[in-house]
Amino acid sequence: MPITPEQQAEIDESRAAARPTLRAVSEGMEERLYKAHPVLDHGIVRVIDYMGNDSAITQAARVSYGRGTKSVNSDEGLIRYLMRHWHSTPFEMCEVKLHVKLPVFVARQWIRHRTANVNEYSARYSILDREFYIPAPEQLAAQSTVNNQGRGETLQGAEAARVLDMLREDAMRSYDHYEAMLSQDGQQGLARELARMNLPANIYTQWYWKVDLHNLFHFLRLRADPHAQYEIRAYAEVIADITRDWVPFAYAAFEDYRLGAVQLSAKGAEILKRRLAGETITMENSGMSKGEWREFEAIWGQA
């Protein structure tokens, strides 16, 4: 289960203790505070704190650019201008702190986004719970034959059952050994910092992750993309929903200019111009590699 009854009671207590504030608040984010949003089989995402809202972005932009923004009549219009022209600093004025419970292999992929502050649960000091990520059957897939980083056809029948059995058995066996190696009941055993090395990458860890909105958008652009690995994408989609409630104007602009947009190279722009002029373009006369041409046609279609 993602959270225990004791943890839920703590969340309910925190949400009941409302306090007046002079800070700028986001009504949407106030509704999200402390609530645990389930992800995967045992994971959660929970908002611990946040700073700023849509108005904080425009306030910073107007300080920075002065009269240059006077012709923009609304906060929404200004935010869309900032997003459209890749201005980043105003979005850095907003921050969010999340409590995330996630499998270790997802955490190792996530930590590559080095523009956040992270404090992770320490297995040197504490004993990890017996919780492992076991994929749903529809997420079991063979290696893709065209993408070395991706998945191919979904495993079926006996093969899927065999893989799931191995995942469960290996996880439980490794945790049994982990417990057996630890110092318990006054008996001398292996130090926690060493016993943990036997645990598999699908065991759950937890961390606090604090990031500004500009870098959060970069994370979401990569990890909420349909091509991202499913497990981290599941977290990104929950965080995207939270962000939409937090800064609705900024998220709408991000969705339009980043998530829903496509990138066109100078060579690609030239090919589109040639197409519009009536020229038939093939991979052979495009000047693109096979990979570039395949991606170009996937977005812009065949001539």
Q: DSSP string of the chain?
A: --S-HHHHHHHHHHHH------S---HHHHHHBTPEEEETTTEEEEEEEEE--HHHHHHHHHHHHGGGGTT--SHHHHHHHHHHTT--GGGGG-EEEEEEEEEHHHHHHHTT--SSEEEEPPTTTSPPPS-B----GGG-EEEPSS-TTSEEEEP-HHHHHHHHHHHHHHHHHHHHHHHHHB-BTTB--B-HHHHGGGS-TTBEEEEEEEEEHHHHHHHHHHHSSTTS-HHHHHHHHHHHHHHHHH-HHHHHHHIIIIIS-----HHHHHHHHHHHTT----HHHH---HHHHHHHHHHH---
223 is catalytic: yes
Q: Rounded to an integer, what distance in angstroms lies between the CA atom of residue 268 and that of residue 275?
A: 11
The catalytically annotated residue of 223, 244, 258, 274 is: 223
The first and second tokens of residue 55, run together, are: 């108005």
Query: What residues are labeled active site?
Result: 223
